[in-house]
Every structure is written in C-alpha cells, then in structure tokens.
Amino acid sequence: MSDSDIKKGLRTFILTNYLFTDDESALGDDDSFLDNGVLDSMGVLELIDYLTEDLNVEVDGDEVTPDNLDSINKVVQFVTDKTKS
Amino acid sequence: MCGFAGILSQRDKQTNRINQSTLQSMARVIEHRGPDEQGIYIKDNIGLAHRRLSIIDLSTGQQPMLSTDKNISLVFNGEIFNFIELREELVKQGHQFVTHSDTEVIIHMYQRHGEGFVQYLNGQFSIALWDSAQQKLLLIRDRTGICPLFYSFDNDCLLFASEIKALKPALLNGLSMSASSLDQVFTFWAPVSPNTIFENIFEISPGHMMITEPSGSRHVQYWDWSYDAELSTRSEAELTEELTELLIDATRIRLRSDVPVAAYLSGGLDSSTIVALIHKHGGIPLRTFSLNFKDKNLDERDFQDLLTKRFDTDHTRLVVKPEDISDALVDTINHTESPILRSAPIPMGLLSGQVRNEGYKVVLTGEGADEVLGGYDIFKEAKVRQFWAKNVNSAWRPLLLNRLYPYLNLPAGGESAYLKRFFGQALEQPDSLFFSHIPRWTTTAKAKLFFSDEMNAALTAKATDTLTDMLPSKVSNYHPFNRSQYIESKTLMSGYLLSSQGDRMLTKNSIEGRFPFLDHRLIEFANKVPPKYKMRAMNEKYLLKKAMQNYLPDKITHRSKQPYRAPDVNTGANNLTGQQFNEYFSAASIKSLGFFAPKKVELLLKKANSKKPLSTSESQALMGILSTQIIHKNFCNN
C-alpha cells in the first residue's frame, strides 16, 4: 500500500469516525489530534485498533505517544516506518 | 410529593382564561404527582388546581386550602418537616387550627410573619400563596431545589405549575425549545436556573420567591449556600459530634408521616448512613430498595448484602437489564422535561415504580451528601490538578491518577498523553472560578460537535458566561474547595440530580423522596466546616466517615466512593439506534428541529451501529440528540 493510499484511508477514518463529517477541510494533515480535540483516551484505542486490523501494524504500548500518533502525517510516517522495519 | 398549577390574571379580573376546564386540564397531566385527590379553586383573578399525594393528615389536609377568613388561598407541594414545632409555637401565640396538616401551618406562618415566614420552614417545598387583600401572589421554592416550580408570563396572565407540561393547556402559543438552554445542557447537563429548555418558561430558582403584585413582579433570594464563616477553632471530635447530632435529627423529622416510609440502599456511604440512622433512632421496621445491574462494574450487591444483614432490613432488589433502559427512555424524557446526556435517570424511575408496586409512597435517600460534605471525584480532581499546576513535572502524577479512579478500567499506561491532556486542562489558571469544573464541562461540550451551523449561529453567548453572570461576586473569595461545592450545588445538583434524576423519577410513580443530607441546618453547619475535614488528603467525606464509624461496618466507611452509574447507551440490547427511535433520528426530523447537523448524526448512528464502543462524549451526544428530539416531538408539536 502506498503512502498516499494509507493517508487517504486514514483521513477518511479520522473524518468519519471522530469528526463525523466528509468535509476534507475539517482537518489538515499536520493538525494536532490533541490540540483539536479529535482524540481522547478512548479514541486512541480505536485508532490503534484501526492500525492493527486495517493496516496490519502492531502498536506497542511505549509507541502510544503524540510523537507517533498526533496528526495524519505523523501516523502515516509511523505506519511507513513500522512497515519498513 | 404533590403537584399544583395556577393562573393569575394580571389585568382583567373577568378573564375567561381562568376557568374550571383549563385548570382541570392543567391538573390532569400531573396526576402522577398526586393521584389521591384533586381540588380546584377559582376566585376573581386567581385560579388554583392541586393534585394530592396524601402523606400527612390524610383526612383533612385537602388543597387548595383557605384561611378561616378566606383571605389566603394556598397550594403546596412537599413537606414542612418541622410543622409540629411551628404549630406548637403558633398555638401558644393564640392561633387556632382546623386541621393537623403542615399546609395549614404555612397559612398561619404567613399570617404571623408575612413574606419572611419561609425562613422558619425546614423542609422541601414549592408554594403558591395568594393574598387576596393585598392582591399578592407568592411563588416560593425550597432552599436547594428539591421541589420544582415553573412559571410563564403569557400575555395578560401569569401561569405557574409543578411541571412544565401543566402550563401547556393554558399557554396561548404552545412551547418552543431554546437554543441557548440546549447549549447549557450540552455543557452543564442542565439549563442554568432560571432557564428551562423552553423559551419563555422559567423556574423559580432554589432559595428564591417571586412576588407578584399589581405593580409588577420581583424576585427575592431568601437563602443561599454560604461559606463566609468557618468553624476553625473546633476540634475534629467536636465537629464529628455536631454532625452526628444534626444527621440524627434531620433523619428523625423526615420520618414524620402518616403512611409507611422506606429507604433506598445502594451500598455506598450515603444511603447506608441514612439506613443506619433509621435503624438506631427511627423506631420503625426497615424497608429498603436497591438497583442492581448485570454488569459487575456497576453492581454493588455485595455491599448491599452486608448492610441488609447488619440492619435486618426487608429488602427488595430491582435488577435492571440493558433493554429495560431503552424501553423506558421515551416515558422518562416526558417526565424529565429536559434533554439528558446519560441514561442514569432511567433506572431511578424504574426503581420508584418498584417502590410504588410494593405499596410505599415515601423513601429516604442519601442524596446531597456528596455536595454538602465533599464526596465528588471532581473535588479530588481539582486537588490533584492544583498540585500539578504547582509541580509541573512531578513523578507522583501516575500514582495520583490511579488513586483518583480505582473503580475505572483506565487505559493501559495511566500516565498517557491523553489523560495528561484531560487532567491538565486549565492548569495555567488555577485561580479560575471554574477551575474544578473545566475538564468535565469540556468533555461534555465535545457533544456540541453535532450542532448544526444554524444552531451555532444562533448562540450569541458562551454557556459559561451565562453561569458567570448568575454567580454572586462573593464566590471568588471562597476557598477553592468551597467554590467547587458552590458551583456543583448550583449546576449539577439542583438542575439535574434533584430534578431529572430526582423529583421527576420519583413523582412519575407517585413517590416522595426525602433527603436528610439536604436539611438546611446540616448544610449551614457543613458549609462552616474547614475543607480539610471534608476531604482529608484524598479521603472524601472524611468527617461523615468519622461520624459513622460506630454505625457502619468498616467495609462501608473505608471503601472509596463509587458513583452511581447506569449501563452505557450503546451496549448490547440497550441500543438507542433501534427501530423504535427511527422517527426521532430520521434526517427529516433532525432537519426539521434544526439544532443538529443531519450528516453528522447519520455518521454517529453508523458508528453506534457498527458495535464499536463510543467515547464518553459520543455516548452523551447520542443520548442528548435523541432526548432533545423526543422533547421537541412530544412537547412542541401541537
């Protein structure tokens, strides 16, 4: 799966699942999930579920940090790095 | 409880709006509050209707009640618990009584003391008193807001009633919902008093009376939660003894009844305290009731079993299944008359039905203990967050979090960035008036994501600004802990716990609740107790636990508070997206009301139907949207 496919799928997941909209302008690729109230502690579990089930990426407990999961671009980078390794 | 309704014509004494048929219609829709008797009184420009739940003086306490000179007419909902002592004093002063009811005592107290008579009442009440000589109507509500009282100035008439639905038969133009009040519900869980969810319908605020005379109406606050004085020189032992004595007396006078009295027993400290006091001092057989759930995280039966054995109570358990909650939802909302964000009121309504089925009319409960004596997690959270504000990088944070919520299954890594984000809110403003409440309100307000563009455009003021305007300036001078208590008493307690989850869920089955912890003598004492005795480090309701250590098993006084919670709305069969709710969730229905965005609601329903767990704010949004739609359909469509 290419980076752009990952980003497209992730964007749709974030928009419909957390922001309940199909308006692409509702969230930028670098917008912080935390600062914009997109994710709470329940939401991050759902995101991990999505990464595991839809993208086959296992997320370790110590990887659940804003550095890895706080924006669309950060998540795409995290998934790419995990897939390569 | 009882219920009443009335109409005062402010201009035309001969108005045809005051008539038997309209008053009959107003009374009929609140028959559940008082199924035993009905009375209607019309004289000149006043009409009064009353539905009676007979509890004291069964034979002669009928209402509306008139003074012997016919000058005063009165309808009353509630109880005056110190009516025996007041009556004795009045008799000594030469007053003569026709009945043995507390209702007649109110009339004589007014004749004796005028408008200030309410200061002498110890009880829970809403009162409409008409003084025909002075052409003056007093609408009075108890100190903490136990008994409801609504009013509306409708063209040339003042309409008033115990429930909003009883105003409707007399309103000229029906009911419409208020966008700003809905915004307040989606922040504080209830509209800010005196607002209601309906335009132009207001409540008499707790501790207030509204006096209407030919010259106009004025509001008088006769009581408020006050933390101005502190009993700083008293020892812990002295404070414990005084609290115990007050609790004993508050419970004793709340057992005054001419019908049998029962009690709720959840297994927590508060209801256990009341049951223990009745056991030791009440001199009546103990009849108790509890709610139980299949979900072990919500159920407290082990603690209930311990207490029913210890106090030898005749106990009834009501096991509420998830599907019971969705089945009872529409009926519940018709009684709350306000949108709700959690399912918690529904089981309370089912429990009062069980009490009624067992032949009881009155229950004592532990309501109010958390507000009065410092039991809520929000008070603990504020302490932790204040610690964080001063010690930004403290290694103690994870420990404190685990101490805060031992009953919750927090996500792995209690120190996650997301929990930090939640508890770290407003750390930069530890002196903010709302410091303690900001995390809760922010979480609740996330449900506003589903507001439509039109709704957002209609909101001209922030919900918190409305609350700021209502709070007296003295609050900012209170100790932060007392400030939290004050705000909690003015928002969640009176607006939601005593209303949607209290009076409305009791009276829907003709049950009267009585709350010893809300005795005003006890509140006034507790408000002077230094905060360190309410929450000792992280030990909530410390002084109450001390007072009860010789009354209750250690397992009860040593357990951490487990707040009452009902099953989430989207688990198993308790699914709010079921077919029976289609009419409320349809795109046409959502669009017609206009408060919510149809597309967003559609995606929320899709998520709920996917069986994925919803977040707290998503669950609250689902319940809030559905209950708002139910109110609109059932109250605003003519």
Q: How distant is the Cα of A61 from the closest Cα of chain B, in angstroms?
A: 8
**Closest alpha carbon within chain A to B621:** A20
**Closest alpha carbon within chain A to B619:** A42
ipTM exceeds 0.90: no
- Put simply, the answer to whether A45 touches B599 (Cβ < 8 Å) is no
**Residue B381 confidence class, pLDDT cut points 50, 70, 90:** confident
With pLDDT > 90 as the criterion, what percentage of chain B qualifies?
Answer: 73
All domains in chain B, ordered by first residue: 3-221 (3.60.20.10), 236-373+490-557 (3.40.50.620), 377-442+466-488 (no CATH), 570-636 (no CATH)
| Buried-exposed string B335-370: b where 16+ CB fall within 10 A, e elsewhere | bbbbbbbbbbbbbbbbbbbbbbeeebbbbbbbbbbb
pLDDT of residue B58: 77
- Put simply, the answer to whether B615 touches A64 (Cβ < 8 Å) is no
pLDDT 10s digits, B83-123: 999 999 999 999 999 999 999 999 999 999 999 999 999 99
**Closest alpha carbon within chain A to B451:** A20
Mean pLDDT lowest among B137-146, B202-211, B238-247, B533-542: B533-542
**Closest alpha carbon within chain A to B618:** A18
- Put simply, the answer to whether B615 touches A42 (Cβ < 8 Å) is yes
- Any B CB within 8 A of A53 CB: no
d(CA B389, CA B387): 5
B223, B272, B265: which is closest to B489 by C-alpha?
B223
HEC states along B30-71? CHHHCECEEEEEEECCEEEEEEECCCCCCCCCCCCEECCCCC
**Closest alpha carbon within chain A to B615:** A42
- Beta-ladder partners of B318: B291
- Put simply, the answer to whether B422 touches A40 (Cβ < 8 Å) is yes
From the list A21, A42, A43, which residue is nearest B600 (CB)? A21
Write the CA distances from B158 to B47, B71, B155, B173, B217, integer angstroms. Answer: 11, 20, 8, 14, 10
Q: Which residue has the higher pLDDT, B297 or B266?
A: B266
Residue B22 contacts residue B170 (beta carbons within 8 Å) = yes
pLDDT beyond 70 at B405: no
Write the CA distances from B239 to B483, B487, B547, integer angstroms. Answer: 21, 24, 9
Mean pLDDT lowest among B119-128, B178-187, B553-562: B553-562
Residue B507 contacts residue B1 (beta carbons within 8 Å) = yes
pTM over 0.90: yes
pLDDT beyond 50 at B457: yes
pLDDT 10s digits, B316-364: 999 998 888 889 999 999 999 999 999 999 999 999 999 999 999 999 9
- Put simply, the answer to whether A21 touches B603 (Cβ < 8 Å) is yes
d(CA B92, CA B270): 38
pLDDT of residue B14: 64
- Put simply, the answer to whether A21 touches B412 (Cβ < 8 Å) is no
pLDDT of residue B573: 46
Q: Which residue has the higher pLDDT, B419 or B583?
A: B583
**Closest alpha carbon within chain A to B616:** A42
pLDDT 10s digits, B492-536: 999 999 999 999 999 999 999 999 999 999 999 999 999 999 988
Q: What is the mean pLDDT of residues B198-203?
A: 98
**Residue B410 confidence class, pLDDT cut points 50, 70, 90:** very low
Write the CA distances from B483 to A2, B389, B458, B475, B531, integer angstroms. Answer: 55, 18, 31, 6, 11
d(CA B439, CA B380): 12
pLDDT 10s digits, B544-586: 999 999 999 999 998 877 778 877 665 544 577 777 888 999 9
d(CA B499, CA B190): 9
From the list B410, B449, B607, which residue is nearest A17 (CB)? B607
Q: Tell me the chain A residues in contact with residue B612 when contact means C-beta distances shorter than 8 Å.
A: 46
- Put simply, the answer to whether B411 touches A44 (Cβ < 8 Å) is yes
- Put simply, the answer to whether B419 touches A41 (Cβ < 8 Å) is yes
Beta-carbon contacts of residue A80 (< 8 Å; ≥ 6 apart): A3, A6
From the list B417, B450, B603, which residue is nearest A34 (CB)? B417
Q: Which residue of A42, A54, A63, A69 to mutate against B (max B Cβ within 10 Å)?
A: A42
pLDDT 10s digits, B360-379: 999 999 999 999 999 877 77
Q: How distant is the Cα of A32 from the closest Cα of chain B, in angstroms?
A: 12
pLDDT of residue B570: 59
**Closest alpha carbon within chain B to A20:** B600
Which residue shows structure tokens 């003015």?
B490
Sign of the dihedral through C-alpha B574, B580, B582, B584 = negative
- Put simply, the answer to whether A40 touches B613 (Cβ < 8 Å) is no
Q: How distant is the Cα of A58 from the closest Cα of chain B, in angstroms?
A: 16
Number of A:B CB contacts under 8 A?
56
pLDDT 10s digits, A54-71: 899 988 877 878 888 889
Q: What is the mean pLDDT of residues B253-280?
A: 95
- Any B CB within 8 A of A12 CB: no
pLDDT beyond 90 at B1: no
Q: Which residue of A12, A20, A54 to mutate against B (max B Cβ within 10 Å)?
A: A20
Q: How distant is the Cα of A43 from the closest Cα of chain B, in angstroms?
A: 7
Mean pLDDT lowest among A25-29, B63-67, B250-254, B416-420: B416-420
d(CA B122, CA B86): 10
From the list B416, B421, B443, which residue is nearest A64 (CB)? B416
From the list A16, A37, A41, which residue is nearest B411 (CB)? A41
CB atoms under 10 Å from CB of B209, counted, come to: 20
Q: What is the mean pLDDT of residues B604-632?
A: 90
**Closest alpha carbon within chain A to B599:** A21
- Put simply, the answer to whether A40 touches B617 (Cβ < 8 Å) is yes
Mean of pLDDT over chain A: 87
From the list A20, A34, A46, which residue is nearest B612 (CB)? A46
Mean of pLDDT over chain B: 90
Angle at B224 between CA B540 and CA B142, to 5 degrees: 100
Q: Tell me the chain A residues in contact with residue B604 when contact means C-beta distances shorter than 8 Å.
A: 20
- Put simply, the answer to whether B450 touches A46 (Cβ < 8 Å) is no
Write the CA distances from B178 to B198, B501, B633, integer angstroms. Answer: 5, 21, 14
Q: How far is CA B438 from the centre of its chain?
A: 21
CB atoms under 10 Å from CB of B182, counted, come to: 26
Q: Tell me the chain A residues in contact with residue B411 when contact means C-beta distances shorter than 8 Å.
A: 41-42, 44-45
From the list A21, A39, A42, which residue is nearest B613 (CB)? A42
Residue B583 contacts residue B280 (beta carbons within 8 Å) = no
Sign of the dihedral through C-alpha B70, B72, B77, B80 = negative
Q: Tell me the chain B residues in contact with residue A41 when contact means C-beta distances shorter than 8 Å.
A: 410-411, 416, 418-419, 422
d(CA B573, CA B321): 9
- Any B CB within 8 A of A65 CB: yes
Q: What is the mean pLDDT of residues B289-299?
A: 88
**Closest alpha carbon within chain B to A43:** B615
Which residue shows structure tokens 């007419």?
B73
pLDDT of residue B401: 58
d(CA B291, CA B304): 10
Q: Which of residues 15-34 of A touch B (CB under 8 A)?
A: 16-17, 19-22, 34
Q: How distant is the Cα of B405 from the closest Cα of chain A, in angstroms?
A: 15
Mean pLDDT lowest among A30-39, A74-83, B386-395, B462-471: B386-395
- What is the dihedral angle through the alpha carbons of B139, B142, B145, B149, rounded to the nearest 10 degrees? -20
pLDDT of residue B409: 46
Which residue shows structure tokens 């054995």?
B309
Q: Which residue has the higher pLDDT, B299 or B599?
A: B599
Mean pLDDT lowest among A3-12, A43-52, B35-44, B143-152: A43-52
- Put simply, the answer to whether A42 touches B616 (Cβ < 8 Å) is yes
Strands B72-80 and B65-66: antiparallel
Residue B618 corresponds to which tokens in the numbers above? 């998503």
Phi/psi for B513 (5° steps) reads -95, 145
